[in-house]
Amino acid sequence: MSDLSTFARLDAVAQAELCAKGEVSPAELFDACMARIEALNPLLRAVVTVVDERPPAPKNGPFRGVPFLVKDAMPWPGLRWSVGSRLFAKNIAAQSPPYGAALEASGLVCAGKTALSEFGLLASTETLLEGITHNPWDLSRSATGSSGGSAVAVAAGLVPIAHANDGGGSIRVPASACGLFGFKPSRGRTLGATLASSDFADMTSDHCISRSVRDSALFLSITEDRAANAPVGYVQSPIARRLRIATFTRTIMGGEPTPAVRRAYEDAVALLTDLGHTVEPIAAPATNPDALADAFFIVIAEAISRIVDFVDKTRGVPVQHDELETFTWELVDTFVARGPDALKVARATLAAAARAHVETTRAYDAVLTPTIATEVWPLGYLSPILGREELIRRTSRGIGYTPLHNVAGCPGMSVPLHFPAGGVPIGMHFAAAPGADALLLGLAYELERARPWRDQWAPYSIPALF
């Protein structure tokens, strides 16, 4: 192996073990990471900010010395915090939230920030501020989003693990598109990662995108809010008992997966059956598709409206038209036009959908669906310069499984079980009842053992190219 790929093939736990044994120093891991970013990021555009100099070597922690990247949705002291928007292009963060402090205490070393869609609104990482982030499996395809930069950075071997967050699928969808493991914790499971509050923030979970299940499990153990929940701790082994798993393919918008996705889904059902689990087809939760999509985007629009109002009041100059993308402005304008009852109606719609999901799946240990209903879309398909109605329509076609788990507060995960020859990966999605994070991680370990995916490298990755 060349110098560039020596550490790229190792997950975060393996890199930390080398540090703990004294076989490599944190400085060596960091310098190798920066060399990988310099070599491949100009092509993929996953990383939008890098640190100016090598940070001090951490003295301890389970991830001691491991370089990682932070999604530009979360502040990190001294680094630009743009949230993918021209409005905050020059914003420098002064402090970390409790979540960031826990990451630093674990020994992780921040190398920079990753790209996202503006405010994490769209499922494609294309912004007027940063440009286009490319999928390393097919440069003409989207990395999806909103955590596309984090997924690409891990899939390309730039870092072994990257922070991400998920308000409707933003961890799980990019993980699926890039052939990675993407876990969304239960609501309230982890420490606070935002400095603001809103309904959308309450639906958003912070975690990571990783190549291995153990990296994700360890990451969860260091970010748990132990004052609020019975801790999961570091889950380290496959689940022992056999599960009763519900499954359906109809999306919350009433659609069905494309033939390629259905074939991958049927393969996953066969795998679970071979492993001894009981897989039972059920009817999807009953929802009003149009009302649910509208409610979800109203909640998002309310959060963005708060940001616009805050900037208007604090800087004395209203937010200008060219400081936000077309889609963002249309969301804000629609929310304002709906009047003061819009959020109340949206909350009621989402609460009804959450109840429907819980009631439909109550008798089961887990729920299986595809992660995305279609193959990964081409670049430009979810461009932020398109109109609101068209973007919501296109988004709803592909992102029809994951948002309901944010609404209901459930843990969910995309597992990379299908790698089509010459194509883009297709992930399968599993969800469980709120609080059942350990059950999902145990299932993930079992699936990882049955279908090892760590050595599935994208054509435009460090191990494949160097």
Which active-site residues does the annotation give?
A: 71, 146, 170
Query: Token pair of 308, please?
Result: 């616009």
DSSP-derived secondary structure letter, 161? E
Distances (CA, A) of 124 to 169, 308, 376, 381: 12, 22, 10, 8
Q: What SS3 class is residue 367?
A: strand
Pick the closest to residue 184 from 173, 192, 197, 195 (CA basis): 173
The kind and range of the H/E element at 240 are none
CA torsion sign for 190, 451, 15, 76 is negative
Residue for token digits 């960031």?
100
Q: What is the DSSP string of 93-147?
A: -----HHHHHHHHTT-EEEEEE--SGGG-SSS-EETTTEEPEETTEEEEE--SSS
Distance CA 122, CA 116 (A): 9
- The CB density around residue 142, as the number of other CB atoms within 10 Å, is 29
Q: Which amino acid is at 386?
A: L
Measured distance CA(189)–CA(52) in Å, rounded: 33
